[in-house]
Amino acid sequence: MKKSIKLGLVGYGTVGQGVAKILRKNKSYIEHKIGASVEIAGVCDLRKPRLDSGYCCADYKQLIADPEIDIIVELIGGYEPARSLILEALNAGKNVITANKAVLAKYWDEIFKTASKNQRLVYFEASVGGGIPVVQALNEGLAANQIQKISGILNGTTNYILTEMTKQKIDFKSALAKAQKAGFAEANPTFDIEGIDTAHKLAILCSLAWSRWVKLDDISISGISKVTAEDINFAKDEFGYVMKLLGSAKLSKQGLEVSVEPCLISGSHPFANVEQEYNAVLIRGDAVGDVMFYGKGAGQLPAASAVVSDIIDLAKQVAVDTAGKLPYVKYGFSKRIKIVPQEQSYGCFYLRFSAIDKPGVLSTVSGILSRCGVSIASVYQKEPLSGSRRGASIVMLTHRIKYGGLLRALRQIDALPVIKSKTVKFRIKD
């Protein structure tokens, strides 16, 4: 039985400092759980932070070379040098904890192969859903189930922006500025607002759920930068829909449908009241039915809560020398899952056409839709047609249709001289 477990932290920013804070504050309590003490032995950070304990270095290789250190905690984010340091740590016999969704999504196969080869563990609870223990739930607590569906609000920044656009009726740019001011969006928010961050997290959840590596390239991704307050409010006021950026995956006989896109959900959907920086994940298993998890998806202490829970779990195993006897992630390395191209998926859609106000537009548009198999459930005129020289917005809700047919129809419609700008479309999720 090892009496003291030593950590090497790479990156001592917000989350790293949160980890140190929790380890300090809940020390006796955590050590009781582990049955051993746990200590930050060294930190790699160029900013040379002040530390309670341990040394500071500028090269992560020094931590990996330190024979005292049992667990490397990677908190720098991004693809490199995160990937190299995780692989080097595993090859040097260290166990690894990471909060880095990007590196996991991109190098899942390489990382878990290396972990498996070295009989070491990679824990990553903080990579998805902040403090919500959804990684463990999917990997262990719901392990009996064939997972049928995963759906999630996985990015706090975009959820904050969409909440502000809805509640304050402000446009995307103003909401983004507000999010940046409130500390919920970074100076360069591209990964968040374009849905890449959500896709990273979704790739991790899918790879866990189906024991196959689901790559970023497998996911159809669209972000929220083109969502207008106009559509959000019209969909809300007319139909009671709420706009959310959803990461969704559904397994059927055809394969896995997996996408990130802004969607409309009904006001009674369990996600409808998940607002601001909160995250939620809904998982459907063949035995358990629907299970939902909800909590803060971002922030220093929620993320650090997940990292420290991983530390406790790993430290317990290191203490009794069982770490790595079982892989944490078990999957079929060589097998791939069949991905259903988005064109072949089915769904209901909200469409808004910007048309020049001329007689016959509606009949032309609906003729094209009909020929492409897009059947319309209802039609709404947003602005008065008659006597107006301005264009008209026509909103349609479709029945359940094939997405490929819709795309084909919209290509034709958007090429019509009477159509002023690209038709807006949002998937409606139930």
Judged by CB under 8 A, the residue of 56, 92, 221, 291 near a second copy is 291
Shortest Å distance, C-beta 23 to a second copy: 8
**Is 305 among the residues that bind a second copy (CB under 8 A)?**
yes
Judged by CB under 8 A, the residue of 4, 14, 26, 342 near a second copy is 26
Query: What single-letter amino acid sits at 395?
Result: V
Query: CA 266 to CA 429: how far, in whole Å?
Result: 8
The stretch among 159-167, 174-182, 257-265, 286-294 that binds a second copy (CB under 8 A) is 286-294
Judged by CB under 8 A, the residue of 76, 165, 249, 308 near a second copy is 308
**Is 369 among the residues that bind a second copy (CB under 8 A)?**
no
Query: CA 425 to CA 413: how far, in whole Å?
Result: 13
- CB contact at 8 A, 74 and 47: no
**Is 146 among the residues that bind a second copy (CB under 8 A)?**
yes
- CB contact at 8 A, 188 and 194: no
Q: Which of residues 178-217 bind a second copy (CB under 8 A)?
A: 211
Query: CA 259 to CA 201: how far, in whole Å?
Result: 12
User: Of 314 and 397, which CB lies nearer to a second copy in the complex structure?
Assistant: 314
Q: Which of residues 312-351 bind a second copy (CB under 8 A)?
A: 312-313, 316-317, 319-320, 322, 325-326, 330, 332
**Is 166 among the residues that bind a second copy (CB under 8 A)?**
no
User: How do strand 241-252 and strand 147-153 relate by DSSP bridges?
Assistant: antiparallel
Shortest Å distance, C-beta 47 to a second copy: 23
Cα of first residue to Cα of last residue in the chain, in angstroms, is: 51
Residues assigned a catalytic role: 201
Judged by CB under 8 A, the residue of 240, 270, 373, 384 near a second copy is 270
Shortest Å distance, C-beta 323 to a second copy: 10
**Is 265 among the residues that bind a second copy (CB under 8 A)?**
no
Query: CA 302 to CA 192: how far, in whole Å?
Result: 18
Query: CA 209 to CA 128: how far, in whole Å?
Result: 13
- Residue (of 126, 129, 69, 130) closest to 94 by Cα position: 69
User: Of 146 and 378, which CB lies nearer to a second copy in the complex structure?
Assistant: 146
User: Of 65 and 144, which CB lies nearer to a second copy in the complex structure?
Assistant: 144
User: Of 220 and 305, which CB lies nearer to a second copy in the complex structure?
Assistant: 305
- Residue (of 421, 164, 137, 142) closest to 285 by Cα position: 142
**Is 152 among the residues that bind a second copy (CB under 8 A)?**
no
**Is 252 among the residues that bind a second copy (CB under 8 A)?**
no
Strands annotated E in 198-298: 220-221, 241-252, 255-266, 278-285, 289-296
**Is 36 among the residues that bind a second copy (CB under 8 A)?**
no
**Is 381 among the residues that bind a second copy (CB under 8 A)?**
no
Q: How far is CA 249 from CA 293, 386, 399, in A?
A: 16, 44, 21
Residue 415: which H helix or E strand, with range? none
**Is 41 among the residues that bind a second copy (CB under 8 A)?**
no
User: Of 104 and 323, which CB lies nearer to a second copy in the complex structure?
Assistant: 323
What are 146's two structure tokens? 């064939």
**Is 288 among the residues that bind a second copy (CB under 8 A)?**
yes
Q: How far is CA 37 from the centre of its chain?
A: 34
- CB contact at 8 A, 292 and 7: no
Query: CA 132 to CA 295: how far, in whole Å?
Result: 6
For a second copy, the binding residues (CB under 8 A) are 18, 22, 25-26, 29-30, 32-33, 35, 125, 130-133, 136-137, 140-146, 211, 268, 270, 273, 285-296, 299, 301-302, 304-309, 311-313, 316-317, 319-320, 322, 325-326, 330, 332
